[in-house]
Amino acid sequence: MEFIDLKAQYADLKHAIDTRIQRVLDHGQYIMGPEVRELEERLEAYTAAKHCITVSSGTEALLIALMALGIRPGDEVVTTPFTFVATAEVIALMGAVPVFVDVQADTCNIDPNLLDASITAKTRAIMPVSLYGQVADMDEINAIAERHGLPVIEDAAQSFGATYKGRATCNLSTIGCTSFFPSKPLGCYGDGGAIFTNDDILAKAMREVRVHGQERRYYHTRIGVGGRMDTLQCAIVLAKLDRFDWEIEQRLLAGERYLELLSGVSAVQRLAVRADRTCVWGQFTVQAENREAVLERLKAAGIPTAVHYPVPLHQQPAYRDLCRVSGSLKNAESVAARVFSLPMHPYLDLSTQRRVVQAVLEAIA
């Protein structure tokens, strides 16, 4: 059994992907070839965002966003401690201070009710994460940010394809960032990512930062990075985009089947999905006591699992001393000790999901 079945996806899309790759090999424009802008235009249409800027990874997307916003050493950026490390890493790379606010125990997303108390005169941005494929409470977060005159960066690395009140993730705040890491809902065959905004000035700044801060060739108006997404990876995402609506449908169905199969199992807490949004299950994550023992038994039963994430960032050796903790982070600490993720991908069928859930039931018994 595969945790994420990329081979089944390739078998299904082989012709389209191979054709797209061959076309790049034939034209030979490996850097900033025509597929780069083509993909950006397709993703602008998909999200209805005015600007899409492809970049070399999801991490680079977040970093470029902070650079374009002019984040400086000593500034504070408010975020969640319960996320992949990259979210806080880019804040620290800017010399800024990640300020951690607790999450909701049932969605594992940042709790907007705690945001106001975390904001100081040094706060320069709010960076919510749409964890596990479910968009954070963006309306509440945007309202607080607006009151304080702060930009909001949505880390949508796990949620591409999700909707919030009918609108696309990545186009819900000042800047949205996503990742095309192979295991994400929309993945390439290496590293890749994208940034979205409706702000013309920020878009221009981020396009320049992506290529060494150059306004035109060898004329550098700002400090930048080498952050381009390469043409081959863009071609692969383009081939996958043609089937993406179907894949999202399959993800939603697989998620509903898991939720249904696990309903009434009191020892396993399912993620709460809010009624006004979809969850594309970047990970299908549940919570239970005695996680390590449960995972041992699942491994013995041949069920692949993963833990997203075992240690909240305020307890990580590299971040303990450079972060600021706002209030109690007891939900983040509690869910970090309890969460584990089950196989999830668009090719998952009911009989496999029954096997997984049966094994989970036996493992918690």
Ligand X SMILES: *Cc1c(COP(=O)(O)O)cnc(C)c1O
Active site positions, annotated? 184
Cβ proximity to ligand X: between 84 and 258 the closer is 84
Q: In the numeric block, which tokens belong to residue 40?
A: 């950006």
Q: Minimum CB separation from ligand X for residue 224, in Å?
A: 18
Q: Minimum CB separation from ligand X for residue 221, in Å?
A: 26
β partners of residue 193: 55, 179
Residue from 181, 258, 281, 340 binding ligand X (CB under 6 A): 181
Cβ proximity to ligand X: between 80 and 171 the closer is 80
CB atoms near residue 259 (< 10 Å): 16
- The Cα–Cα gap between 144 and 165 comes to 18
Q: Within its chain, how far is the Cα of 74 from the centroid?
A: 26
Q: 145-174: which residues touch ligand X (CB under 6 A)?
A: 155, 157-158
Enter the DSSP assignment of 264.
Answer: T
Pairing of strands 97-100, 123-127: unpaired
- The Cα–Cα gap between 181 and 259 comes to 26
Q: Within its chain, how far is the Cα of 69 from the centroid?
A: 20
CB atoms near residue 328 (< 10 Å): 10
Q: Minimum CB separation from ligand X for residue 176, in Å?
A: 12
Q: 27-86: which residues touch ligand X (CB under 6 A)?
A: 57-59, 83-84, 86
Q: Minimum CB separation from ligand X for residue 65, in Å?
A: 12
Cβ proximity to ligand X: between 57 and 123 the closer is 57
Note whether 24 binds ligand X by CB under 6 A.
Answer: no
CB atoms near residue 250 (< 10 Å): 16
Q: Within its chain, how far is the Cα of 133 from the centroid?
A: 7
Cβ proximity to ligand X: between 84 and 340 the closer is 84
Give residue number: closest CB to ligand X. 58
Residue from 54, 79, 171, 179 binding ligand X (CB under 6 A): 179
Could you tell me how many residues of this chain bind ligand X (CB under 6 A)? Answer: 15
Q: 84-113: which residues touch ligand X (CB under 6 A)?
A: 84, 86-87
**Which residue from 119, 68, 59, 118 is spatially nearest to 90, judged by alpha carbons?**
59
Q: Minimum CB separation from ligand X for residue 290, in Å?
A: 26
Enter the DSSP assignment of 94.
Answer: T
Q: In the numeric block, which tokens belong to residue 145?
A: 């940010």
Q: Is 173 helix (H, G, I), strand (E, B) or coil?
A: coil
CB atoms near residue 217 (< 10 Å): 7
Q: 266-285: which residues touch ligand X (CB under 6 A)?
A: none
Cβ proximity to ligand X: between 67 and 360 the closer is 67
- The Cα–Cα gap between 35 and 45 comes to 15
Q: 187-216: which residues touch ligand X (CB under 6 A)?
A: 191, 193
Cβ proximity to ligand X: between 54 and 57 the closer is 57
Write the CB contacts of 321 (distance below 8 Å, at least 6 apart in sequence). none
Q: Minimum CB separation from ligand X for residue 247, in Å?
A: 18
Q: Minimum CB separation from ligand X for residue 149, in Å?
A: 25
CB atoms near residue 287 (< 10 Å): 19
Cβ proximity to ligand X: between 47 and 262 the closer is 47
Residue from 65, 67, 71, 129 binding ligand X (CB under 6 A): 129
- The Cα–Cα gap between 118 and 122 comes to 10
Residues at the contact surface with ligand X, assessed by CB under 6 A = 57-59, 83-84, 86-87, 129, 155, 157-158, 179, 181, 191, 193
